[in-house]
Amino acid sequence: MAHEYDAAEVDRQFDWGLKKKASSSGNARTARHILKDAKEFGYVPPSLDSSVARVEIPPFVRLEGLPGFFRNGMLPNVFVGPMVGQAQLFPARAISLLVALGSVGKTSSLIAMAAHISAGRPWGSGTLQQRRGIVFSVEETQQELWRKFSATAADWPDRDVRRAQEELLMYSMSERDPRLTRAVNRNIEPTGLAERIIEIVLEHEAEFIILDHLQGMVSGDLNNSDTMVAVAHACNRIATVTGAAVVIAAHTNKGNINAEVVNHGFSTGSLAMENAARQVVGLIPLPETDAKAFGLEAVRKDYIRLEMPKNSYGRGGEVAYLRKQYVPLFHTVTVLPFDPPAVATGGMVSKQDRLWRAIVDHVRNNPSATANSLDKLAGPKGVFKASRKEVREAIRELIDHGVLAEHDVSKEYRKRHGLKPQIRKVYFVKE
C-alpha cells in the first residue's frame, strides 16, 4: 500500500533481487502475478466498467445523408486573413494551424495580423476586410499582450487604433485553466473551456479566434491520437457553432530546427490535428538560399519565411515573407509583411543593392545607429561584407536619394535608448 512505502526496504529488496537474478531458475513474475498479490493485500483497481465510458451516439437518418447538388454553383469560402502567394489565410468555420519553433515569431505574427484585420488596415500590398476577433494566449500575461498590440499599432493614426481596440479582444490564460480537454481514467473529456470560448465569441460576434498555443491547451500526450482527436473535436465545435475561423499556434519538433522548407507533418505530436486542420502554415527563419537571392545575408535573422504545405480550399505550397521590427518605445518586436525583390526572372541582385538594403534594415531596427557604429560593421568579416569606404559611400548615396537622414538626439532620447552622452546625431530611415 502507498502509505506503507519504505525507501530503505525497496533498496534492500532490489539488491537481494540482483543477487538472486544469476542463480534463479524459477518462472518470471509477470504483471498479472503482481496485480493478483496486490488485490490480496487490499488493492482495489479503478472501475473499468464499459458502461461508464459508453457514449450515446444518435442514429443516422437516411434523409440527412442525401447529397445536395447546386447546378448554378456555390458561394466561395470566407477567409479572414492576408494572402500567402495566391492563397488566402484562415478559412471561416474551420481550423488553421500556424506552426514554428519557439522564438521564431508565432505570437508576434498572429497578434500583428489580428490587429491589422481588426482595424481593416492593409497587410503589405494586400487589403483586409475589417472583422472582429479574439486572442486567447496561454503564455503571455495581459500586459505582454498589450505590449505586442501597442508595438504593432505604434505608428498608426488614432482612428485605426480605436477601431482595432473596438473590434479585438485579448485574453491571457495565465490565471485560468487553459486546457480544452483532460484525461479521466481512460477517457479524454472536455473541460468546458470550449463552451466558455463559444459564449464570448457569440457575444462579441467575432469572426476569427486565435488560440496561442496548442501545447498549452492540451492535457496528456500530444503523440496520443485519442488526445489530439478530442482536442480537434473541441476546436471544430468552436468553429462550427460560431462560424468563426479558429487559428491555432503550435510548436514544431526540434528536428526542423534547420529546415529550409515547410512540409507535411511539420507540427509536433500526432498527425490527428494536422488532419483536422484545413490549412497548415509553417514559419521558419529565412533560409540561406533566400537570403542570398534577396541580398539579405547581413540581416537574415530579421526575416521569416511563411509557407503553406496544406490548403484544403485552394493552392498549397504558397510562400510569403515577414520581417521582424524592433519597436524601442515598447521594448519588443513586431512583425510586418515583407515583399522581396523580384528575382524570379534570373536577374541577380547587385552588390550595391545588397549593401543598400543591409544598411537600411540595420538602421530601421537600431535606433542608435551612428556613423561610428556603421563603420564597425564594415570589413570582410563584418555584417555588411563591404569595406569601410564602400559603406560610407553607400550611406552618402542613401542620404542623397532621400532614404536615410540624420537627426539631432535629445537628452531624453539618449536616456531612453541607453546612448552615450557624446552621441549627438543618429541615422533614421525616411519611410
- Give the tens place of pLDDT for each residue, 306-323: 999 899 988 888 899 999
Among 33-47, 316-330, 362-376, 400-414, top mean pLDDT goes to: 316-330
Asked whether residue 329 falls in the same domain as residue 372, the answer is no
The pLDDT score that the predictor gives to residue 331 is: 93
Picking from 338, 371, 390, the residue at the C-terminal end of a domain is 338
Whether omega for the bond prior to residue 331 falls within 30 degrees of 0, making it cis, is no
Asked whether residue 312 falls in the same domain as residue 281, the answer is yes
Q: Are 370 and 307 in contact (CB under 8 A)?
A: no
pTM for this one? 0.70
Q: Are 344 and 337 in contact (CB under 8 A)?
A: no
Grid coordinates belonging to 142: 495581459
The stretch 276-283 carries a mean pLDDT of 93
Grid coordinates belonging to 245: 475561423
Share of the chain above pLDDT 70, in %: 91
The answer to whether the Cα torsion of 232, 237, 240, 245 is positive or negative is: negative
The pLDDT score that the predictor gives to residue 294 is: 85
Range of the domain at 384: 351-429
The pLDDT score that the predictor gives to residue 355 is: 85
Provide the 8-state DSSP code for 361: H
Q: What is the C-alpha to C-alpha distance for residues 248 and 180, in angstroms, rounded to an integer?
A: 13
Provide the 8-state DSSP code for 126: B
In a domain, 164, yes or no: yes
In a domain, 248, yes or no: yes
The stretch 151-169 carries a mean pLDDT of 95
The stretch 123-139 carries a mean pLDDT of 93
Q: Which single residue is written with the C-alpha cell 493478483?
A: 36
In a domain, 21, yes or no: yes
Q: Are 207 and 245 in contact (CB under 8 A)?
A: yes
Q: What is the C-alpha to C-alpha distance for residues 358 and 369, in angstroms, rounded to an integer?
A: 13
The stretch 396-402 carries a mean pLDDT of 82
Picking from 338, 372, 398, the residue at the C-terminal end of a domain is 338
Domains of the chain: total: 3
Nearest to 84 by CA among 306, 314, 312: 306
CATH number (domain holding residue 375): 1.10.10
Q: What are phi and psi of 415, to 5 degrees?
A: -65, -40
Q: Are 383 and 362 in contact (CB under 8 A)?
A: yes
In a domain, 181, yes or no: yes
The stretch 338-360 carries a mean pLDDT of 69
In a domain, 77, yes or no: no
In a domain, 225, yes or no: yes
Q: What is the C-alpha to C-alpha distance for residues 215 and 276, in angstroms, rounded to an integer?
A: 16
Asked whether residue 165 falls in the same domain as residue 302, the answer is yes
The stretch 316-341 carries a mean pLDDT of 90
For residue 355, count other CB atoms closer than 10 A to its CB.
23
Please measure the distance between the N-terminal and C-terminal CA atoms of the chain and give it in whole angstroms: 72
Asked whether residue 219 falls in the same domain as residue 139, the answer is yes
Alpha-carbon distance values, 381 to 189, 192, 295, 352, 387 (Å): 57, 57, 16, 17, 10
The answer to whether the Cα torsion of 54, 56, 62, 66 is positive or negative is: negative
In a domain, 26, yes or no: yes
Provide the 8-state DSSP code for 205: T
Asked whether residue 139 falls in the same domain as residue 282, the answer is yes
The pLDDT score that the predictor gives to residue 346 is: 43
Mean pLDDT of the chain: 86
Residue 47: pLDDT above 60?
no
Asked whether residue 327 falls in the same domain as residue 416, the answer is no
Asked whether residue 249 falls in the same domain as residue 360, the answer is no
Share of the chain above pLDDT 90, in %: 41
Q: What are phi and psi of 351, to 5 degrees?
A: -60, -35
In a domain, 402, yes or no: yes
Residue 155: pLDDT above 80?
yes
Residue 422: pLDDT above 60?
yes
The pLDDT score that the predictor gives to residue 46 is: 62
Over residues 237-268, the pLDDT tens digits come to 999 999 999 999 998 876 666 677 787 777 77
Asked whether residue 219 falls in the same domain as residue 318, the answer is yes
* 136: helix, strand or coil: strand
Greatest C-alpha distance within the chain: 92
Residue 24: pLDDT above 80?
no
Residues 60-83 as b/e (b if ≥16 CB within 10 A, e otherwise) read eeeeeeeeeeeeeeeeeebbbbbb
Strand partners, 311: 279
The stretch 85-90 carries a mean pLDDT of 91
Residue 358: pLDDT above 90?
no
Q: What is the C-alpha to C-alpha distance for residues 234 and 215, in angstroms, rounded to an integer?
A: 14
The pLDDT score that the predictor gives to residue 362 is: 86
Over residues 371-397, the pLDDT tens digits come to 888 888 888 778 888 888 888 888 888
Picking from 338, 364, 393, the residue at the C-terminal end of a domain is 338
Asked whether residue 175 falls in the same domain as residue 284, the answer is yes
Q: What is the C-alpha to C-alpha distance for residues 261 and 256, in angstroms, rounded to an integer?
A: 9
Q: Which residues contact 105 (CB under 8 A, 6 or more apart)?
A: 283, 304, 322, 324, 333, 335
Q: Torsion angle, CA of 312/315/317/323, rounded to 10 degrees?
A: -100
Residue 431: pLDDT above 80?
no
Residue 209: pLDDT above 90?
yes
Asked whether residue 245 falls in the same domain as residue 366, the answer is no
For residue 332, count other CB atoms closer than 10 A to its CB.
15
Q: Are 356 and 271 in contact (CB under 8 A)?
A: no
Q: What is the C-alpha to C-alpha distance for residues 206 and 132, in angstroms, rounded to an integer?
A: 5
Q: Which residues contact 359 (CB under 8 A, 6 or more apart)?
A: 374, 384, 391, 394, 395, 398, 404
Asked whether residue 291 falls in the same domain as residue 214, the answer is yes
Asked whether residue 293 falls in the same domain as residue 364, the answer is no
Strand 181-184 vs strand 168-172: parallel, antiparallel, or unpaired?
Answer: unpaired
CATH number (domain holding residue 269): 3.40.50.300
Assign 55 a pLDDT band (cuts: 50, 70, 90).
low
